[in-house]
Amino acid sequence: MTAAATHIKGRGFEPLYSELRQKEGRVYTDEEVLLLPAIAREHPHYREWQIRKESCKRLKQYAERISSPDILEVGCGHGWLARHLAEIPGSHLTGIDVNYTELQQAARVFNPVTNLHFIHGGIDVNELEDAQFDLILFAASIQYFSSLKDILSMAMGKLKTNGEIHILDSVFYQPEEVGAAKERTAGYYRDLGFPEMTQYYFHHSTNELNFFHYKTLYQPSLINRLSNNRNPFPWICIKKPVI
C-alpha cells in the first residue's frame, strides 16, 4: 500500500478502507488489539483469528532462528503481529502502513514495547531510505499492491545480505482462477456498499512469483482451502539473490 495508492478518485483508500473495516466488524478496541490473536469465541471473526494465531506461531518460531533480527512488516495495521515478533530476544521491529487510524492505535497500544516502532507511509517512505532488514513481512497485505513484481523488487532492495521476504495469510491463485476471483470480490464489495474497493484489491497468481527465487514453506491442501478450521493460505519465502 504505497502512498501513491491512496489518491485514486472517489473516497480515497484510507477513509474507504476504514469504513469497510467498520462494516465488516474488524474495528477493535485497544483492549482487544492488546490480546490479539486471542479473541472471544463468540466474535464473528474468531475462526479467522485462529488461523492467524497459527501462522503467527510458525513465523515467530522461524524468526527466532535469526540472531537479533531486524524485521519490517509492510501493512502492519494495528500492529498485533509485530508486537508478538518483538518478543524475540534482540529483535527490532518496524511496522509501516498507510492507514493512519490503525497505526495510531498500534502506537498507542504498544507504546511500552521499546523495540517496536511504527511509521506512517509505504515502503518508499523517507524514514526507511537507508534501512536494511533481515526479514520483510507481508501478512494479509500483499493483495493491496497492484504489481507484485514492483513491490517485491522494492522490498528486495531493503534486505540485508541473506535477507528474506515472507508472504503469509494471503491468497495466491492459479492463473485460470483469477477471473472468477475478481468477480467474487466485486460482488462482495458491491453487496457491502463499497464497490470502489475493487480499485485497491488485487488478485495475484502463482506465476507472478516466477520473477523471484522463492520457496513455499507451507502449502495448504485442498481440504485446508475448503475448511473454515484450517489455514488455507500458503507461506511464501523469497530469498535475496547472492551476488
Q: What is the 3-state secondary structure (H, E, C) of 131-176?
A: CCEEEEEEECCHHHCCCHHHHHHHHHCCEEEEEEEEEECCCCECHH
Q: Which residues of the chain have a pLDDT value below 50?
A: 1-10
Segment 155-201, tens digit of pLDDT = 999 999 999 999 999 999 999 999 999 999 999 999 999 999 999 99
Dig out the grid coordinates for 7 from the structure.
489518491
Predicted pLDDT at 5 = 35
Which domain does 112 fall in, by range? Answer: 3-239
Residue 206 neighbours by CB distance under 10 Å? 15
pTM of the model: 0.91
Q: Contact 118/83 with Cβ under 8 angstroms?
A: no
Alpha-carbon Rg for the chain, nearest whole angstrom, is 17
Predicted pLDDT at 242 = 75
Give the CATH number, domain containing residue 7.
3.40.50.150
Domains identified in the chain, total number: 1
Residue 24, phi then psi, degrees to nearest 5: -80, -10
Single-letter amino acid code for the residue at 90: G
How many residues are given for the chain? 243
Predicted pLDDT at 4 = 31
Predicted pLDDT at 148 = 96
